[in-house]
Amino acid sequence: MARIPVRFSKIAAAFDEAARAVSLVRQCESSGSDHSPEDLSELSDLVNSFIESDCAFETDELEGDKTALEKENENDGSSDSEGHWSDTKDKLKRLVGKNEDDKEKLKILERVAELARRNVSDMSSEGFKRRLMSGLRDYGFDAGLCKSRWEKLGRHPAGRYEYVDVNVKGTRYIIEVNLAGEFGIARPTMSYASLIEVFPTVFVGKPEEVKQMVRLMCKAMRESMKNRDMKMPPWRRHGYMQAKWFAHYKRTTDEISATNNDPKKDAATAAVGKRAVGFKELPTTSYYCRDDLVGNKSGLKIGYLSVAFNADAGIGLQS
């Protein structure tokens, strides 16, 4: 009888841990509007990806018990055939391609490519994605910087990620520059390396396209590493990779123009301009312990803290 790696208890535990992870993330302080998986199907997909990754982990452990002859015979199978990789490549090309019928996507692609060219030497810097988002807003797009975060789930470590999105008439597009770097692995096979070459420098796609692409690449990644007798690291498994774009996230916007470099701009106005979407400004109360001085009728100046202590002690200043 074949060994069944997934049991009902494991599935139930995965949902429990997913719910706990979302709860923990929501308690974390972060600016921006709050976004969870779009609906129950999104949450189900995310949990399933973690379950599939756990199944793959168990399968990898069983692989270590196989003889060299068994592995060699499996490597001759259709999963590693030229036709299989060619089919995978064609699917990937359709997912990351321009899609001439989607006019909005083409507009975003054009602007992102222009902004990337201006910052070609700066694309790997920490603040590049925020500047990219700000630049897109300057062009009139409803762009935001999305910060996803997830807790440890099963064998998958906790993590966080940032990406840019654009909303156009109810349709959401995910923007990535150098997306190929997210799928890099050690000692890739030639077949897997050929898939990496398919990725354009600038990627713009709908969430469903990203989801299919992640599934496709994670499967190819696993096959490549299996061929090299290497174990899949947890941060390259399907569950972890999908969480980057589909876990709970905060979306922030920068309403200040990226070209506005006026040094005399009022600091308070700048702070309002940078206020995160989804949070209402509340009045603030300042507490002064020193430096701030008050005057009395006699013209003397003392600190607020001194006034408080003097009041408690029954000591006052006479005019």
Would the pLDDT of 166 be above 50? yes
- Can you name the residues that pair with 153 across neighbouring β-strands? 156
Q: Which three-class secondary structure string do you get for 169-185? A: CCEEEEEEECHHHHHCC
- Interhelix angle 238-246/40-63, rounded to 10 degrees, is 160
How many Å apart are CA 159 and CA 136, to the nearest integer?
Answer: 27
Q: How large is the average pLDDT for residues 245-256?
A: 86
- At residue 22, the pLDDT reads 47
pTM: 0.64
Encode pLDDT of 268-309 as tens digits. Answer: 444 444 444 443 344 444 444 444 444 444 444 444 444 444
Encode pLDDT of 192-243 as tens digits. Answer: 999 999 999 999 999 999 999 999 999 999 999 999 999 999 999 999 999 9
CB-based contact 316:310 (threshold 8 Å): yes
